[in-house]
Structure 1
Amino acid sequence: MTSANTILEPDTIISGEQLYNEAVGLILKSAQRELLIFDQDLSRGSFSSLESFNYLQNFLSANIASELTIILQDAGYFQQKCPRLAGLLQIYGHKMHVHVTNSSARHAKDCFILADGEHYIKRIHIDQARFKYAFNDRKNVETLNNRFMELTDAIGDAVTLRPLGL
């Protein structure tokens, strides 16, 4: 890790892909009960890394009632470049759900992660590594949670890894 403790200040606008990756890790690591993720395709934020896999595996295995919901605009990266996460979906399909939006949500260019209704990270625009994250910020999390609920109305298909048929 870089000198994140001095640079990665919560509740401020921060720029940089590496810092974004580190902040995503902090939010994933903080989750205990619920993770809600909206992203274009998971290609940013180190979701294909072993570290993110470990955070998510610990999250899913530590609490019987934990829930992980991911909404993507495109599942291609997840399916092709995140085999560890795909493996988690196979193991924890009862508490991990991955969905793809329909065309009505294709205009969304931000992405965010909500943890336990209290912590969040929000990337302002997918093409720029500018983001804000915070812990214990229920007000902003509530606003983003409402946005996440709106996105659930735009869900097209669920991503499954099981072959269809018999």
Structure 2
Amino acid sequence: MNEPAIARFDTRRELEAHWNALLARAQGRLDLFDPDFIVWPLGTPDTEARLRAFLHDGGSLRLALHATGHIERNCPRFLRAVRDYSHRVECRQTPRSLRHLSDSFALADGLHAVRRFHCDHLRGEAAFDAPAEIELPAHRFEALWEESLLTLETSVSGL
């Protein structure tokens, strides 16, 4: 394993660069949480291509969120990938009791993370090859995942 690398960020460009680096490193599992994913570039062609490659190679994606509206309206590429790889993707919506959670993070393979400290700000931290840094957000993700309900399901006619 490589030496842990931790970098702070506070701009959209830096967030997207760290997101792309995380996707490039992801091999087995991606766990994503954000209240609405407005800031994350889920709808871009680059993200779609990287996610499709990740899922095609056997990866799995779990996405948890409070509100689905932004993704449903603005991320058709992401939704197509979810539909095409529905056997490897699960999306869940948090219950009202968890809607106060305001952090945001993407975790890959228990080794890499991109975290925004609060969903209203771009300030955050990226950690690569740093399992100790992933432990707390991974635990938080598992807890909210267990409480959340299935959403963004696909059907024969689409969503």
TM-score by length of 1: 0.87
2:36 to 36, 41, 56: 41
Which residue of structure 2 aligns with residue 23 of structure 1? 18
Structure 1 position 163, deviation (Å):
6.2
Count of paired positions: 153
Q: How does 1:5-154 map to 2 (within 5 A)?
A: 10-63=5-58, 66-154=59-147
Is the partner of 1:22 in helix, strand or coil?
A: helix
Is the partner of 2:154 in helix, strand or coil?
A: coil
Report the Cα distance in structure 2 between the residues aligned to 1:88 and 1:13, rounded to whole angstroms: 30
| RMSD of aligned alpha carbons | 1.4
Identity of aligned residues (%): 25
Superposed CA deviations along residues 96-155 of structure 1, whole A, max 9, x for unmatched, are 011111101100111001101100011011111101001111112121110001111320
Work out which structure has the larger RCO, using CA pairs closer than 8 Å and 6 or more positions apart in sequence. 2
Q: Which amino acid aligns with 1:62?
A: D
Report the Cα distance in structure 2 between the residues aligned to 1:30 and 1:159, rounded to whole angstroms: 26
- Stretches of structure 2 that go unaligned for 5 or more consecutive residues are none
Structure 1 position 161, deviation (Å):
2.5
Counterpart contact for 2:86–2:154, Cα < 8 Å? no
TM-score by length of 2: 0.90
Superposed CA deviations along residues 37-62 of structure 1, whole A, max 9, x for unmatched, are 00111211211111111111110012
Q: Which amino acid aligns with 2:129?
A: N
Q: Which amino acid aligns with 1:82?
A: C
- Stretches of structure 1 that go unaligned for 5 or more consecutive residues are 1-9
